[in-house]
Amino acid sequence: MDGINGEVLGIEQGKGLEGISNFFKRMTIEQREAVRVVSIDRGNAFQSAVLTYLPKAAITFDPFHIIKNINDAVSKVRCEQWRLADKDNKKYIKNSRFLLLSSKEKLENNAKGKTKLQELLAVNQPINTAYMLKENMRDIYHSHTSMEETANRLSQWVELAASSGLAAFKVLARTLEKQLGGIMNFFKFGLTSAAIEGLNSRIARISSKMRGVDSPTL
């Protein structure tokens, strides 16, 4: 999808390297060389294809995908703590996924939810650490003022995640450390893949409604 006007440039099946490469192969050399910035998720296939076919383009990792990766790590910590918890502590973790992944703004008018979240964070340190790391990254995106400050804050975040003692965040920290350039490019260029994610969501909803319908012959 064109990041400026939102025009759909091509559709390929799947997220594998072959499908992504086929899209780039249909472009002329001049078209590829004209691309200066591309926003992708952190999948290896996307990165490999861009590096191969768009060598002059800067890679930007969309905030949507970074936050999603962090939310996935929070969910893993929550599941791990559920397995380790005794009966008394399980009551704090039960039905807390939505609260942990919600932004603070969404809970402003949910007094019961805020209380439950505060109680959980008070009794479970690993979940509290995961939640704080999530909120800290959200704040980095929301309060960006300068490239230097944001770069420092991202580096500090990686260090905190790596030393958190949480396996899911330690793994994430290792990969994000290698991709800080792409994360910083979002602040430099402001390019996101929000439009294509919105389109994908609409396609997914349509596909869900069409379950049981045979695929049309093209």
* pLDDT at residue 204 tops 80: no
Please write the tens of the pLDDT for every residue from 136-154.
999 999 999 999 999 999 9
- Higher-confidence residue of 40 and 199: namely 40
Task: With cut-offs at 50, 70 and 90, classify the pLDDT of residue 199.
Answer: very low
Three-class SS of residue 165?
Answer: coil
Task: With cut-offs at 50, 70 and 90, classify the pLDDT of residue 9.
Answer: low
Please write the tens of the pLDDT for every residue from 90-115.
999 999 999 999 988 888 889 999 99
Please write the tens of the pLDDT for every residue from 24-75.
888 888 888 888 898 887 878 888 888 888 888 999 998 988 999 999 999 9
Residue 3 contacts residue 58 (beta carbons within 8 Å): no
pLDDT of 26 reads 83
Rounded CA-CA distance 78/128 in Å is 10
Nearest to 61 by CA among 186, 216, 207: 186
Give me the DSSP letters along 77-91: HHHHHHHH--HHHHH
Looking at every residue in the chain, the average pLDDT score rounds to 85
pLDDT of 184 reads 96
* pLDDT at residue 3 tops 70: no
* pLDDT at residue 2 tops 80: no
Write down the residue that tokens 């994000």 correspond to. 176
Residue 67 contacts residue 75 (beta carbons within 8 Å): no
Rounded CA-CA distance 141/186 in Å is 10
Among 20-34, 81-95, 177-191, 203-217, the minimum mean pLDDT is found in 203-217
* pLDDT at residue 180 tops 90: yes
Mean pLDDT, residues 19-24: 78
pLDDT of 218 reads 45
